[in-house]
C-alpha cells in the first residue's frame, strides 16, 4: 500500500522550532523519494483552516473499503507543538470526522509526545511514522463545559485553578519566548508557578468521580489528564497510562507555604501521591463544578476566568506511528 503524506507545519511552534524541524525532515523525505505535500501555517488559526480544507477536499477516513480504493492513501502529518496538534484534532472533532494523524513534536513542552512515548528527535520521529502501515487507537479526553455549552477534546489535560493560572501567566510572558530559544521552555512554567503561587487563592470545588460526590473547600489546583505530564514534562500523575480509557484527576488543596514547598519537592521526586494534600482519582466519567470564576486551560491554551460545570469522558483517535504505550482496540469512539 502506498501513502502520500500531507504535512501541516507550524513554523512558529516552539519559538521557531517548527521551522527547524521541517528543515530536518524535508530533505530526508526527498532522499527516500517519499510522496508528500507541504502545508505551512502562516497566522494564528491557520492550522484550523488548513485542517478543515484537507478534511473536506483531501483526507479520507480509514476503512477496509478506502484502503482498497485509495492509492496512494492520504495521511496527515502534523509538525508543531501540542497546541498545533490540539487545533487540528479539535477541528476534526467539530466537523465530526476522523482521520489517521501522525505527529512530529516541535513545541516547547511536548507533553503529548512524552505521554505516548514518541521520539522527540525529528529524524527518529519521521522514521517512526514511515515505518507503519496502519493506525492505532490512542486515548484522549472528551469534554463538555455546560455553562458556556462548549465541547471539545484535549490531547493532554484540562485544568482549573493553579495550572490554568500558570498557563495564562506563561502564555502572556516574554520569558517563554526567550527561554524557548535555548530549549529551556520548562523554566518559563517554573517562573510562572512561583509568581502565581503568591496570588492564587483556594476556591470551593465539587467533583463527581464515577457517581461519588466529593467537595473541597479550598482547592488550589484541579486537573484532569490522560497521561503523566503537564507544563513541559512535569510528571503530575506518574501512574497515569495513556493506553487506558480512563481519566486521572488531581486535586491539590491550598496549604501553607512550607507544606506547599514540601509538596513541590515531592512532585519533583515523583512522590507527590504520598502527600495527604494531593488527591488522585482514576475514573471513566468525571464532573467538576466550580461556582467561583477561575482560569481554565485545555492543552496549554488558557481560557478566561469563568465558573465551570465540566463533564469529561474518554474518547479515542486514530494515530499514525509506533508508541511505547500499548493501545486498546476497544477504546470508546466519539
All cell numbers assigned to 166: 500558570
* Residues facing residue 142 across a β-bridge: 153, 313
Q: When comparing pLDDT for 194 and 273, which is higher?
A: 273
Instruction: With respect to residue 264, please indicate whether it lies within any of the assigned structural domains.
Output: yes
SS3 9: strand
Instruction: With respect to residue 119, please indicate whether it lies within any of the assigned structural domains.
Output: yes
* Residues facing residue 105 across a β-bridge: 80
* Statement to judge: residues 146 and 69 lie in one domain: no
Q: Is 116:325 a contact under the CB 8 Å cutoff?
A: yes
All cell numbers assigned to 208: 463527581
Task: Report the C-alpha gap between 35 and 74 in whole angstroms.
Answer: 10
Q: Is 100:67 a contact under the CB 8 Å cutoff?
A: no
* Statement to judge: residues 234 and 115 lie in one domain: no
Instruction: With respect to residue 331, please indicate whether it lies within any of the assigned structural domains.
Output: no
Tens digit of each residue's pLDDT (9 = 90 or more) over 257-275: 667 676 777 777 777 777 7
Instruction: With respect to residue 214, please indicate whether it lies within any of the assigned structural domains.
Output: yes
Instruction: With respect to residue 118, please indicate whether it lies within any of the assigned structural domains.
Output: yes
Q: When comparing pLDDT for 263 and 180, which is higher?
A: 263
Confidence of residue 197 (pLDDT cuts 50, 70, 90): low
Q: Is the pLDDT of residue 18 over 90?
A: yes
Q: Is 39:58 a contact under the CB 8 Å cutoff?
A: no
Q: Which residues, in sequence order, are CB contacts of 302 under 8 Å at separation 6+?
A: 164, 167, 168, 171, 295, 296
Q: What is the predicted pLDDT for the residue at 167?
A: 75
Total of domains in the chain:
2
The mean per-residue pLDDT over the stretch 213-234 comes to: 90
Instruction: With respect to residue 334, please indicate whether it lies within any of the assigned structural domains.
Output: no
Domain hosting 295: range is: 141-316
* Statement to judge: residues 125 and 158 lie in one domain: no
Task: Report the C-alpha gap between 308 and 8 in whole angstroms.
Answer: 33
Greatest alpha-carbon pair distance for the chain in Å reads 64
Confidence of residue 182 (pLDDT cuts 50, 70, 90): very low
* Statement to judge: residues 70 and 219 lie in one domain: no
Domain boundary (97, 115, 134) is at: 134
Q: Is the pLDDT of residue 175 over 80?
A: no
Task: Report the C-alpha gap between 240 and 236 in whole angstroms.
Answer: 9
Instruction: With respect to residue 327, please indicate whether it lies within any of the assigned structural domains.
Output: no
Instruction: With respect to residue 163, please indicate whether it lies within any of the assigned structural domains.
Output: yes
Domain boundary (134, 156, 180) is at: 134
Domain boundary (82, 110, 134) is at: 134
Task: Report the C-alpha gap between 181 and 134 in whole angstroms.
Answer: 36
CATH number at residue 271: 2.60.200.40
CATH number at residue 121: 3.40.50.10330
Q: When comparing pLDDT for 128 and 260, which is higher?
A: 128
Q: When comparing pLDDT for 138 and 260, which is higher?
A: 138
Q: What is the predicted pLDDT for the residue at 179?
A: 47
* Statement to judge: residues 268 and 311 lie in one domain: yes
* Statement to judge: residues 51 and 171 lie in one domain: no
Q: When comparing pLDDT for 179 and 2, which is higher?
A: 2
* Statement to judge: residues 66 and 118 lie in one domain: yes
DSSP string, 237-261: -TT--TTSS-EEEEEEE---HHHHH
* Statement to judge: residues 40 and 110 lie in one domain: yes
* Statement to judge: residues 62 and 119 lie in one domain: yes
Mean pLDDT of the chain: 87
The mean per-residue pLDDT over the stretch 320-330 comes to: 67
* Statement to judge: residues 120 and 231 lie in one domain: no
Q: Is the pLDDT of residue 334 over 80?
A: no
SS3 110: coil
* Statement to judge: residues 128 and 145 lie in one domain: no
Confidence of residue 195 (pLDDT cuts 50, 70, 90): low
Q: What is the predicted pLDDT for the residue at 330?
A: 36
Tens digit of each residue's pLDDT (9 = 90 or more) over 286-317: 999 999 999 999 998 888 899 999 999 999 99
Q: What is the predicted pLDDT for the residue at 278?
A: 87
Q: What is the predicted pLDDT for the residue at 331?
A: 38
Task: Report the C-alpha gap between 45 and 43 in whole angstroms.
Answer: 6
Give Cα 142 to chain centroid, integer Å: 12
Tens digit of each residue's pLDDT (9 = 90 or more) over 104-121: 999 988 999 999 999 999
* Statement to judge: residues 190 and 311 lie in one domain: yes
Element spanning 207, H or E: strand 203-209
Confidence of residue 34 (pLDDT cuts 50, 70, 90): very high
Between 185-199 and 162-171, two packed helices, what is the crossing angle to 10 degrees?
A: 120
Amino acid at each position: 500500500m502506498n501513502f502520500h503524506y500531507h504535512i501541516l507545519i507550524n513554523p512558529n511552534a516552539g519559538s521557531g522550532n517548527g521551522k527547524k524541524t521541517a528543515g530536518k525532515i524535508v530533505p530526508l523525505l526527498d532522499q527516500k523519494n517519499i510522496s508528500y505535500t507541504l502545508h505551512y501555517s502562516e497566522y494564528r488559526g491557520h492550522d484550523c483552516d488548513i485542517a478543515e480544507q484537507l478534511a473536506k477536499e483531501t483526507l479520507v477516513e480509514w476503512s477496509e473499503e478506502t484502503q482498497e480504493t485509495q492509492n496512494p492513501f492520504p495521511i496527515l502529518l502534523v509538525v508543531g507543538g501540542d497546541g498545533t496538534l490540539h487545533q487540528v484534532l479539535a477541528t476534526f472533532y467539530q466537523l465530526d470526522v476522523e482521520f489517521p494523524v501522525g505527529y512530529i513534536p516541535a513545541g516547547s513542552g511536548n507533553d503529548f509526545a512524552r505521554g505516548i512515548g514518541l521520539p522527540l528527535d525529528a529524524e527518529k520521529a519521521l522514521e517512526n511514522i514511515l515505518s507503519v502501515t496502519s493506525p492505532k487507537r490512542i486515548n484522549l479526553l472528551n469534554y463538555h463545559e455546560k455553562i458556556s455549552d462548549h465541547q471539545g477534546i484535549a490531547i493532554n489535560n484540562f485544568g482549573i485553578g493553579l495550572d490554568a493560572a500558570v498557563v495564562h501567566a506563561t502564555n502572556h510572558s516574554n520569558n517563554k519566548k526567550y527561554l524557548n530559544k535555548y530549549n529551556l521552555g520548562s523554566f518559563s512554567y517554573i517562573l510562572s508557578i512561583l509568581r502565581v503561587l503568591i496570588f492564587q487563592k483556594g476556591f470551593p470545588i465539587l467533583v463527581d468521580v464515577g457517581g461519588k460526590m466529593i467537595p473541597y473547600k479550598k482547592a488550589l489546583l484541579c486537573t484532569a489528564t490522560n497521561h503523566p505530564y503537564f507544563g513541559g514534562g512535569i510528571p503530575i500523575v506518574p501512574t497515569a497510562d495513556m493506553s487506558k480509557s480512563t481519566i486521572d484527576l488531581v486535586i491539590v488543596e491550598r496549604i501553607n507555604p512550607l507544606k506547599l514547598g514540601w509538596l513541590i519537592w515531592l512532585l519533583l521526586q515523583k512522590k507527590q501521591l504520598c502527600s495527604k494534600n494531593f488527591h488522585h482519582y482514576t475514573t471513566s466519567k468525571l464532573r467538576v463544578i466550580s461556582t467561583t470564576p477561575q482560569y481554565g486551560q485545555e492543552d496549554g491554551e488558557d481560557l478566561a476566568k469563568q465558573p465551570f460545570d465540566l463533564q469529561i469522558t474518554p474518547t479515542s483517535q486514530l494515530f499514525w506511528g509506533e508508541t511505547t504505550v500499548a493501545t486498546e482496540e476497544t477504546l470508546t469512539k466519539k
